[in-house]
Structure 1
Amino acid sequence: MRSTRSVKRAATAVALALAAVFTSGGAAPAAGTTIAQTYTVWHWNVSGHKINNGSATTGMVAAAVGSIKSQDPSPDFVSFNELCYSQYKAIRDQLNSAPNAWTQATNYARWSETHPAGTGICGGEAFGNALFSKAQLRGEQNYILPADYTQAEADSGAYHEDRSLLCAALADQATMKFCTTHITTSNRRLPNPDSAKINTQQLGAVRNILKGFADAGETYLVAGDFNAEPDMSRMGSLMTTHTELDSTDARCLNYGEWTAIDNPEINDPDTGLPPCAANGGNPKIDMILARTDRLVDPAAGFTADTKSIPTTCTVDGKTNQLCSDHRVLIGTATLSVPVPVTLPATG
């Protein structure tokens, strides 16, 4: 439980932060109006179990933290998929520590457990997703998506994940939030053969949750491994109202650079030209989405790029190995953020 003194300090910080934003250009904007804010997102699916064996010392954590701290501009939000809990804790603590601490905030990390501890995953640790904010966060919302397993499978001890959409709002601007998700790879029709494919159901659930945010007058960014390419039909329910920040890539227009290794024989091709679609090699399945009607300039007010997969990891006794089978994706967007009618309490 937070102390009364902590709550008072937080409330003061909220007021001062909003005052600084609102008065930097003159008079404060009226409640219910909007201000233009630019945010940068850093996202990585790190394969914490499959490649890094649940360890925080393979080099993956160091590579992730080093990349985040070295970015210019510095990311406002950070998203991870496929983290083991010890890896999450290591990243959380190192982002807040010297040298070159990425954040001075105390309430900046959120964790979503998608598979519980006590199994063979992650060496017995919990497995899930995480998000971090350079600025203070308030609360969190973790929405469980339609299950890609049956209850009988769960009861029998079969591996299963509770896929989710994890979100948190900024403490000093409650109408702006950041989310991360990891959609299933499964094409099964659940809970019965007449159901839509479960990956399509999960994407539809994400769409509906995000629509709720927009209808409530909120702005957001969402990053994650969607396990679908931007031009796939099952992404349609999201892409009709959202813009993927890498969609203006000059060579891969409306698609973006690949993010995941589908064919292990195709290494990170920074020395050549990577294909723009999975049927040519590796797919684009990691994305950063902004709601199109919240972009200040829907034609050019955003950008994104991918980074090489680090080859600095020691895995299964072998050095100089790929630290993941996904690339880091970094995107920036200028968004229209509603001014809150009141200053809500943080927590």
Structure 2
Amino acid sequence: MELQLDLCEDRLTRECAWTDRRSMGDEMRLGRTLAVLVAATLGALAGPVPAQAATVNTTYNVWSWNVAGWKMHRGSTGNGLIPALSNSIRNRSAHFAALNELCWSQYKAVQANLRNSGWPQDVENFSRFEPHNDTACGGEPFGVAIFSKAPLGAANRYALAADGTTETRKLLCAPLSARPHLRFCTTHITPSNEVVNGEKINETQLGQVLTRLEAFHAAGDTVIVGGDFNAQPHYGRMNPWYSTSLTVPNNSGNTGFYRELDDTDSRCVGYGETTVYDGNTEGLCGQGKKIDMIFVRQNKIVGAYDGDSLAISTSCGGACSDHRILIGTVTVSITQ
């Protein structure tokens, strides 16, 4: 909501008649009087100086995972995936969790597991789901989800440009009920490089998500977004995201405002740690590629931040995903 203030100016007309004969003292007193009068008048015309909005600094632990819920699990809720991811959320003291490639039944199972363990503060209001396809999980919805330890407000659900498949990619966000200017989001960008309407579709989707985040910022919000971006940090299509302050051999040419929570990793500064399966060699610094990320606008970050990716659990009758869990800790400034 935008607040508009109409400032009314009083137009003051003062006519003064002075005699030609004055003493020097009279003229000096007159000068001082006029100076005071002008200052007072200008102050009245300018009006009161608006108070700066109060902010609070708070630290959050963020957790994000592409679970390959249909690709590797065929929608199963009984093969070890649900306790593996739910235990990780609890063990990592996550305040926010984002899940990509999740089937509806898996979403409900995670919801029940976290609820029954007492993880959320409000057991009836701590998660949101958004389908990318209504039937892709053996006839049930397939999409993305967010979970929050604190109660959530109304969700924002945005469809991204079509990539020519049966999947409609989305951006899903929700604010905290008690802190409406803090918003947590997740997205899963298409891996397609196809040119649609004159631009590569993955670039289009990245631009659409970024535009939404910047609109939230313009409205006074602090946004934390995690998910599968299907792009490595040093790719040109990520330059509009990463802050201009990040200029290192592994990641340069950036024109944006955001930092990724693992971009200070000493093993690969500016890039971070791989987020995919063992054996992949497509990334920088002699490791697998990094395509999962957690971003925060740099001007909202207070102090140091960090991120890490976790080895893929094998408690699902084998690997639980072809992606690693990505975690991060960040202190952010939030408008109250």
TM-score normalised per structure 1: 0.76
2:249 equivalent to 1:256:
no
Larger RCO (alpha carbons 8 Å, 6+ apart): 1
Q: Is the 8 A contact 2:301 2:333 kept in 1?
A: yes
SS at match of 2:106: helix
Q: Is the 8 A contact 1:148 1:186 kept in 2?
A: yes
The 3 A distance-change label for structure 1 pair 279 and 188 is: farther
1:44 to 65, 68, 91: 65
SS at match of 1:210: helix
SS at match of 1:237: coil
SS at match of 2:162: coil
2:207 to 204, 209, 215: 204
Q: Is the 8 A contact 1:111 1:131 kept in 2?
A: yes
Deviation above 2 Å: which 4+ runs of structure 1? Answer: 278-281
The 3 A distance-change label for structure 1 pair 196 and 296 is: same
Which residue number corresponds to residue 161 of structure 2?
A: 146
SS at match of 2:76: coil
Which residue number corresponds to residue 87 of structure 1?
A: 106
2:116 to 97, 108, 119: 97
Q: How does 1:1-347 map to 2 (within 5 A)?
A: 32-71=53-92, 74-98=93-117, 101-105=118-122, 106-117=124-135, 121-149=136-164, 159-191=165-197, 195-239=198-242, 240-261=256-277, 266=279, 277=283, 280=286, 282-297=288-303, 301-314=304-317, 321-339=318-336
Q: Is the 8 A contact 2:99 2:144 kept in 1?
A: yes
SS at match of 1:96: helix
| Deviation (angstroms), 1:104 | 2.8
The 3 A distance-change label for structure 1 pair 51 and 279 is: farther
Q: Is the 8 A contact 2:66 2:100 kept in 1?
A: yes
The 3 A distance-change label for structure 1 pair 49 and 279 is: farther
| Deviation (angstroms), 1:310 | 0.5
Q: Deviations over 1:118-174 (max 9, x none)?
A: xxx32221100000100000101011111111xxxxxxxxx5111111000000010
The CA distance in 1 between the partners of 2:88 and 2:301, in whole Å, is: 26
The residue identity in structure 2 corresponding to 1:40 is N
Q: Is the 8 A contact 2:145 2:186 kept in 1?
A: yes
Q: Deviations over 1:261-287 (max 9, x none)?
A: 3xx7x18xxxxxxx6826945210000
Bigger radius of gyration, 1 or 2?
2
The CA distance in 1 between the partners of 2:57 and 2:97, in whole Å, is: 20
The CA distance in 2 between the partners of 1:37 and 1:70, in whole Å, is: 20
The CA distance in 2 between the partners of 1:286 and 1:179, in whole Å, is: 13
Identity of aligned residues (%): 44
TM-score normalised per structure 2: 0.78
Runs of 5+ unmatched residues, structure 1: 1-29, 150-158, 268-274, 315-320, 340-347
Runs of 5+ unmatched residues, structure 2: 1-50, 243-255
Q: Is the 8 A contact 1:68 1:102 kept in 2?
A: no
The residue identity in structure 2 corresponding to 1:335 is V
The CA distance in 2 between the partners of 1:206 and 1:86, in whole Å, is: 27
Q: Is the 8 A contact 2:268 2:284 kept in 1?
A: no
| Deviation (angstroms), 1:93 | 1.1
